[in-house]
Copies of this chain bind each other. A is one copy, B any other.
Amino acid sequence: MKLVYRLTVVLAVVAVLATPVLAADKKVRWKLAMTWSSTLTPFATAPFNLAKMVEEMSGGNFVIRVEGAEKHKAALGILDMTKGGQYEMGHSASYYWKGKDISTVFFCTVPFGMNVDEQNAWFYHGGGMELMQETYDKFDVLSFPGGNTGVQMGGWFQKEINSLEDLKGLKMRIPGLAGEVFAKLGVNVTNIPSGELYTSLDRGTIDALEWVGPAMDIKMGFHKIAPYYYTGWHEPATELQFLINQKAFEELPPEYQTMLVTAMKAVTADLYTDNFAGSVEAWSQMKKDYPNIVVKTFPPEVLAAMKQAADELYDAYAAEDPFFKKVWESQKEYMEKARTWTQISEYNYINTVNQLSE
């Protein structure tokens, strides 16, 4: 035992001596590529603030240059570019990689899934972070939450949806799993570049579209040309994503690793608040300027059909892919438990105050 003890002391001393002195003075220059343009607030705000924090904390020694899609021209190449090391980091959203691995959707949001509180609890206390990393290990990248939009709105519609019949043949821009759900219900789902959306909706090329929520929708101007704003079901807690090249992260001094992880958590929290506050202001402005906007929730018949279509979709993917099944079951189980608490806490409180003002 004594020998082991001595050996441990010797190894500890060697380890201390081997640690580079003033590791935090090491100059590190990184690049981060975003799926969004540099002006798309509040999404782009998070990486810019992350870079600012890390630079300040390191006394100017750890610098991250943030590039928007207007520069690198590869909005959906973020995962590949981070994997390949052209960029040490990326800021994107996990569901963009569903073509590479369908399970990536769970680390962003899924139709009728968890809300933001439930999803964060799942990430950090329900095994979500571990399942996410298991998914991204095969791409040689680390993945971290990158800021949440909360419940996204169901979209802007030119006419009311009163029945399943009204969905048949409807031309709508709605991507991802939600698009697959709508397609099952007879919607003619299309994808249109964001720059052409306003004109497409205005000219009747499409009848409806979904974007994000008031904070970001207001800049697109959809509220000026479509009267119905439907509430959300399809993206209840869209989590953006920081990607980091594994090798680049491992080569960082430990000080910088902690700076990066801490700053990611800080800007992730800020993004949710920024987007919520942005929606508070934007929704207030929209209602003032366009008092005839009608907020609608899809009728129960339509929602029930959407839910059934979503469940069929998950079942089909789960039958093909055991890892998808594993993650989906983890989320379903956690959501069931967590929703019970959401009901009697956050939901019940708003409900209680509502009843007071009735």
Contacts and interface: CB of A to CB of B under 8 A. Distances in A.
Contact of A231 (B56, B295, B342, B348): B348
B266 A262 contact: yes
Interface centre among A124, A270, A280, A343 (most CB of B within 10 A): A280
A17 to B, nearest CB: 15
A155 to B, nearest CB: 13
A287 B337 CA distance: 11
Given A56-B258, A356-B303, A349 B277 contact: no
Interface stretch (A21-29, A94-102, A188-196, A197-205): A21-29
Interface stretch (A66-74, A112-120, A177-185, A217-225): A112-120
Interface string A243-277: 00000000001110011001101101110111011
A312 to B, nearest CB: 15
Chain A interface, >50% SS class: helix
A347 interface: yes
A59 B262 contact: no
A146 interface: no
A90 interface: no
Contacts of A334: 280
A152 to B, nearest CB: 8
Interface string A27-53: 000000000000000000000000001
Q: How many copies does the complex hold?
A: 2
18 contacts: A22-B25, A56-B255, A56-B258, A115-B349, A121-B277, A125-B278, A150-B345, A153-B345, A231-B344, A231-B352, A262-B262, A265-B270, A276-B341, A280-B337, A280-B338, A300-B355, A300-B356, A303-B356
A280 B356 contact: no
Contact of A124 (B58, B231, B270): B270
Interface of A: 22-25, 53, 56-59, 112, 115-118, 120-121, 123-126, 150-151, 153, 213-214, 231-233, 236, 253-255, 258-259, 262-263, 265-266, 268-270, 272-274, 276-281, 283-284, 287, 295, 297, 300, 303-304, 307, 334, 337-356
B280 A24 contact: no
Contacts of A280: 118, 121, 125, 334, 337-338, 340-341
B348 A151 contact: yes
Contact of A352 (B25, B125, B287, B297): B297
Contacts of A338: 276-277, 280
B349 A350 contact: no
Given A57-B255, A115-B349, 18 more contacts: A24-B57, A24-B59, A56-B258, A57-B258, A112-B353, A121-B280, A124-B270, A150-B346, A236-B349, A265-B270, A268-B269, A269-B269, A279-B341, A280-B338, A300-B355, A307-B356, A339-B353, A343-B350
A295 B57 CA distance: 47
